[in-house]
Amino acid sequence: MSDRDTKEVTSEMEADPGASATAAAERRLTSIGSRPRRPSRRRRRARAPGWFLLPALVLYAFVVLVPSVRGAGYAFTDWDGLNPVKHFVGLGNFRQMWSDPAARGALRQTLIIAVAITVVQNALGLALAMGVHSLIKSRFVLRVLLFAPAVMTPVVTAALWKYMLAPDGAINGLLDGVGLGSWQQNWLGRGDLALASVIGVIVWQFAGYSMVIFLAGLQGIPAEIHEAAAVDGAGAWQRFRRIVLPLLAPATTINLMLSIIGGLKLFDQVWVMTAGGPGNATETLSTLIYKNAFQFNEYGYSVAIAIVLTIFVAIISSGQYGLLRRQERAAR
């Protein structure tokens, strides 16, 4: 009972001396119980953050969700992006995509790039993480040097490599300088080499990023587990296969998800280095969307390709995530 309630009970006893203190207190407690309870400060504080999210959610819906939903409607029209007149074509743009050789080629190149980046980048990142996780003296310097390309802007990185891979660029100059002039190539002028060069540049830039994620997972493995396995006679390969890989499952899931999604929606490096050429050898779905929208003025067709790409990325990433999560639970 608060001080105010105590004072009110005392005043009632003074006003009616015949009443007992117990009866006065009971009447006061009954009146207190009939009052509506105010929510506690902790409960009010717990509900407050939900309201703070509302402005951000409204802004996100206004900037992202509403334009995306409205823009998706253009996939069913023949709008050119400029003319206010547009006609409904139904699923015509989607049928055109499956019959378009350029779109099928872009889909094939997109899958090749995504798979190659996912496999090579993560394998190299894991190898680098194992190397810098050792007790070599230069491990801290190597971590910085290997991670440095990942913080560079993809456009800047692609522009630098485009210059170095030119016929008269640094790569051919280096080969000629060491007596390997016969190995000089037009790296971005041949279809097979151009696709491999783009993949190599992306792996070079982001292998250090995968390394950092794997390194965080390696540092979370207790040394006692390795020591106990070594005492039991397990070799280096057995410890890696039986201990390291299962305990790196969360880091592997993150790396694989980032790699596959980044590879499927790749645009910057391809556009800066080759613009989809030579021919259509390095064309991806993202560059095809850009060309149809801003070069060929087929805005409705480009939106249809973008919708297919979005669904494609969602299906592959969700399937991969579910598979990797099951493997994580099985490894525990």
Three-state SS across 75-102? HHECCCCCCCCCCECCCHHHHHHHHCHH
Instruction: Please give the single-letter amino acid code of residue 237.
Output: W
Separation CA 230–CA 219 (nearest Å): 18
Chain Cα centroid distance, residue 251: 13
pLDDT at residue 39 in the model: 53
φ/ψ (deg, to 5) at 54: -60, -45
Q: pTM for this one?
A: 0.78
Give the Cα separation of 122 and 206 in Å (integer): 9
At residue 236, the pLDDT reads: 84
pLDDT single digits (tens) 53-93: 888 889 999 998 898 888 899 999 998 888 888 889 999 99
- State the DSSP code for 36: P
Distances (CA, A) of 269 to 77, 261, 309: 31, 15, 18
AA letter at 220? G
Query: In the chain, where does DSSP find H-type helix?
Result: 3-15, 21-34, 41-60, 66-72, 92-99, 101-116, 122-132, 139-147, 154-164, 170-177, 191-219, 223-231, 236-239, 245-247, 249-264, 268-273, 285-294, 299-331
pLDDT digits (tens, 9 = 90+) for 218-245: 998 888 888 888 888 888 888 888 888 8
- Which of 225, 263, 256 has its CA nearest to residue 327? 256
266 vs 327 pLDDT, higher one: 266
Whether the pLDDT of residue 21 is over 80: the answer is no
91-113: b or e for each residue (b if 16 or more CB lie within 10 Å)?
A: ebbbebbeebeebebbbebbbbb
Q: In the prediction, which pLDDT does 9 show?
A: 45
What pLDDT was estimated at residue 138? 86
Question: What percentage of the chain reaches a pLDDT higher than 90?
Answer: 50
Domain residue spans in the chain? 1-37, 95-331
Instruction: Name the residue with higher pLDDT: 191 or 121.
Output: 121
**For 95-331, CATH number?**
1.10.3720.10
Reduced to 3 states (helix: H, G, I; strand: E, B; else coil), residue 210 is helix
| C-alpha closest to that of 273 among 181, 122, 132, 164 | 164
Taking a C-beta distance cutoff of 8 angstroms, is the pair 75, 94 a contact?
A: yes
pLDDT of res. 174: 92
Residues 192, 198: Cα–Cα separation, whole Å: 10
